[in-house]
Amino acid sequence: MKSRLTKHMNRYFNGTVEICISGSNAERFLNLCQFQEIPLRDIRRDGSRYRAFLPAKDYFRLRPVIKKTGICPGITRRLGLPFALKRNRKRKILFLCALMFAGMIYYLSGFLWRIEFDGCYYHTVEQLREFLRQEGIMEGIRKSGADCNAIEECIRSNFTDIGWVSAELTGTVMKIHIKETRMPSMSAEQIVDGYGNTWEEETGHIVAAKDGVVTQITVKSGVAQVRVGDVVKEGDILIRGVLEIVGDDGNVTARHPVLADGTVRLKCVEDYSQAVPLTYEKKVYTGKSRSGIKLEIFGRKIFSYNPSNYYQNCDIITETGQYCIGESFYLPLVCEKTTVMEYTLTAETRTKNEAELAADQLLLRYLEEKKRGGAVILEKRLTPRFTKTECVLEGLLIFDESAWKYRRIKSDEWRQENGDEHNTDNNGYTSGIREKDIRGV
Q: What is the DSSP string of 327-396?
A: TTEEEEEEEEEEEEEEEEEEEEE--HHHHHHHHHHHHHHHHHHHHHTT-EEEEEEEEEEE-SSEEEEEEE
Element of type H or E holding 21:
strand 16-21
- Count CA atoms closer than 13 A to 187's CA, side-chain side: 6
Q: Cα–Cα–Cα angle for 144, 147, 151, nearest 5°?
A: 145
Spell out the per-residue pLDDT of the chain, length 441, in tens.
456 667 777 788 888 999 998 888 888 888 888 888 888 888 888 888 889 999 988 888 888 888 888 888 888 889 888 888 778 777 778 778 878 888 888 888 888 888 888 888 778 888 888 999 898 888 888 888 888 998 998 888 888 778 889 999 888 889 999 888 754 444 445 688 788 788 888 899 999 999 999 999 999 999 999 999 999 999 999 999 988 888 888 787 888 899 999 999 999 999 999 999 999 999 999 999 999 999 988 878 888 888 777 788 999 999 888 888 777 888 888 899 999 999 999 999 999 999 999 999 999 999 999 998 889 999 999 999 999 999 999 999 999 999 999 999 888 887 766 544 444 343 333 333 333 333 333
- The candidate with the shortest Cα–Cα distance to 410, out of 237, 192, 247, 198, is 237
Q: pTM (2 decimals)?
A: 0.53
Return the number of other C-beta atoms located less than 10 Å from residue 112's C-beta: 21
- Run of H or E including 86: helix 81-87
Q: What is the 3-state secondary structure (H, E, C) of 244-274?
A: EEECCCCCEEEEEECECEEEEEEEEEEEEEE
| CB 254, CB 416: distance < 8 Å | yes
Using the CB atoms, write b or e for 298-309: b if 16+ within 10 Å: eeeeeeeeebee
Q: Which residues have a Cβ under 8 Å from the Cβ of 218 and sit 6 or more positions away?
A: 262, 263, 264
Task: Determine the Cα–Cα distance for residues 223 and 240; give it in Å rounded to an integer.
Answer: 5
| Reduced 3-state DSSP string for 306-329 | CCCCCCCCEEEEEEEEEEEECCCE
User: Residue 124 phi/psi, 5° resolution?
Assistant: -85, 160
Amino acid at site 405: K
Q: Do the Cβ atoms of 342 and 285 come closer than 8 Å?
A: yes
Give the separation between CA 150 and CA 139, rounded to whole angstroms.
17
Interatomic CA distance for residues 292 and 304, integer angstroms: 8
Closest CA to 240 of 225, 220, 262: 225
